[in-house]
Amino acid sequence: MSVKITMVGTGYVGLVSGACFADLGHDVICVDKDERKIRMLLEGKMPIYEPGLDELVHRNVDAGRLRFSTDVAASVKDREAVFIAVGTPTENGSDRADLKYVYAAAGEIAQAANGFTVVVTKSTVPVGTNAQVFDISQKNVASGARIAVASNPEFLREGAAINDFLEPDRIVVGVEDDEAKAVMRRIYAPLLLHGNVPLLITGIQTAELIKYAANAFLAVKISFIDEMANLCEAVGGNVEEVARGIGLDKRIGPSFLNTGPGWGGSCFPKDTRALLATANDAGVPSRIVTSAVDANSARKIAMVDRIAKACGGELRGKRIAVLGLTFKGQTDDMRESTSLVVLPELLRRGARLTAYDPSNPHEAQHYLPEVQMVKTAEDAAEGADALVVLTDWMVFKTYDLKELSSVMASPNMIDLRNLFDEAEATAGGFVKYSSLGR
């Protein structure tokens, strides 16, 4: 039996989750106060870049299972579950998550809800947030209505979010109300049909912590392999073979063992900071996560030093071509991208920059006003003294390296994602090639 669902927020999490819930057969309204986003969606245009999202949205809109609105109150009435999927950025002046959008949504939902409604927090929030959501709901709930609260953290990777939702490793639900628990089981019943997806129903505080613990662990894993890459370079090892060798151990696994220029994005930086703030408030030392955060900050500056070394030690006056601006490939998200640290530092040291990103992120020029944004990789490489691969866009692997190297002033590639190898680069006309950990 389908469930009437409203998704408050149409960012990466809200829009993908709403469209996927509709694809599972539920009746879904995605609501957002950003009129531009809703107008785009009503016109069939996606406000974010996510592979396969446009087709998924169009299919479910055509089937009548997915609608869009800017009216929160109207979209909440007669709904069995209302998911909060709004932003939780880092609070100004601290490392804590800013929860004002979550709390505002909770108040509006409670005022408009009628009958029994489960308010489900999908946004990443620190321990104790859902208790506050419950208190806000009780203070604002209309007479005759009843609200229960659940925590349902998301584990979606940008660029692979649809597959992650429809074929999840696990589903985590923090809920302590029996009627709400039944609603959550009905919502996820299509994914649980064949019994191959673990469903973990736990306490609300535990569910809140699971999300932060997962992201912090993955961040630590990346920082670890980055340090192993440095060691490999110093002693003559190959980090890719080290990663494969340890990843074959089932206790470790192969995921998140690709070295790179440092982690960023919408989750790892803010979530590690928020976890550290929570631990600090609780008086619990968190040395491992602290070390990973510090190592990641140092890693990004070390990439600038590496580029300078590959350019003969001096960046002033050098023209550098940059491939990739987003924090990872297959997304248009620039939040806390390594490019936002590396490129300004290159400019500060006197380099001239041209950059190309396949997603043409609309925020790029705002964040990096002194960087010349171009429309193709060839335009970026034209007359360049070095080509820096900064983001792991898979499409870069399809490029004709001979075409790129032929238009450069000095065919020098600094591959900070290990997308290529020295033999490929040499065959492609690059006289100099450097990578990480090998």
> Residues with catalytic annotation?
267
SS (H, E, C) the chain: CCCEEEEECCCHHHHHHHHHHHHCCCEEEEECCCHHHHHHHHCCCCCCCCCCHHHHHHHHHHCCCEEEECCHHHHHCCCCEEEECCCCCECCCCCCECCHHHHHHHHHHHHHCCCEEEEEECCCCCCCHHHHHHHHHHHHCCCCCEEEEEECCCCCCCCCHHHHHHCCCCEEEEECCHHHHHHHHHHHHHHHCCCCCCEEEECHHHHHHHHHHHHHHHHHHHHHHHHHHHHHHHHCCCHHHHHHHHHCCCCCCCCCCCCCCCCCCCCHHHHHHHHHHHHHHCCCCCHHHHHHHHHHHHHHHHHHHHHHHHCCCCCCCCEEEEECCCCCCCCCCCCCCCHHHHHHHHHHCCCEEEEECCCCCCCHHHHCCCCEECCCHHHHHCCCCEEEECCCCHHHHHCCHHHHHHCCCCCEEEECCCCCCHHHHHHCCCCEEECCCC
